[in-house]
Amino acid sequence: MDRLEAMSTFLAVVEAGSLSAAARRLKTPLATVSRKVSELESHLRTKLFSRSSRQLVLTDAGSSYLTACKRILADVTEAERSASGEYIAPTGELSVTTPLGLGRTILIPIMADFLKAYPDIKVRMIPTDRVLSLVQEQIDVGVRIGALPDSGLMAIRVGEVRRLACASPAYLSVRGTPRTPEELADHDCITYAGFASGDVWTFVKDKATTAVPVQTRLVVGNAEAAFAAARAGIGIAAALSYQLQEPLNDGGPLTTVLDAFQPIPLPVSLVYAANRFLPIKIRAFLDFAAPRLKRVLAS
């Protein structure tokens, strides 16, 4: 039995919540995951999970072993990074997660310059509008929009983005331009997963945040589709300021509305895990990307 591999499998099962979910994450057959956990339990001569219910629950021994596994695997990772030279020179693979639109519009040009400046670093970019766990997904740096929870991560604030409402000139010429947030009830609105909270949008009115109901005529999966629908004249879409800088692939430019009622801007931050030793590749990226993001977002 490979004890480190068995520990990694055990940790994946705990984080995923089940054997089948861990098998999907590890891209390993379920039978293999189950066998490795059983072998580990036999080696330790104790049960790590209680299987009396549908959901796996750690035993007391399993909870203690989990803490030790996390520490041991972290130490092994640090040792490998040290041996590979990651603490001596900027080298190795750097993984970065970023929101889809911000990554495409703002981060990709910065990343192109970074790769030229550091030829011994290769980058794995993970563009997604989902908030991924840096620790569980083994990601070095994340670009986050919005207030940060108290997660124990280190953060560097690099700017802010504004939340906007926009529509095509053709739609506004037919339906009129809303002058107050309440007038959105008379308009067709477009929402997408990860931005607006369903049929209620927030604005600032008389220095106070107010929520107004909107008439959602179309729900799409991402910002690109929302903007394409808005440019096609379907209705008013919610947007973040940087998203309006994206190339026009469908229709013409969009016009912002209700600018006087913009909500409080959302902070943009670079986040990374607070390790005892920070690989030079991560420090190099933070020092390179942070000032450039600050300049772009400020403009």
pLDDT digits (tens, 9 = 90+) for 227-240: 889 989 999 998 88
Listed residue (15, 27, 106) closest to 58, CA to CA: 15
Instruction: Supply the pTM of this predicted model.
Output: 0.66
- 28-37, 58-67, 241-250: range with lowest mean pLDDT: 241-250
Mean pLDDT of 188-203: 80
pLDDT digits (tens, 9 = 90+) for 98-148: 988 889 889 999 999 999 999 999 999 999 888 888 877 889 999 999 888
pLDDT confidence bin for 276, thresholds 50/70/90: low
Phi, psi values for residue 241, rounded to 5°: -55, -40
Q: Residue 268: how many CB atoms within 10 A of its CB? A: 24
Distance CA 186, CA 182 (A): 8
Q: What is the mean pLDDT of the chain?
A: 86
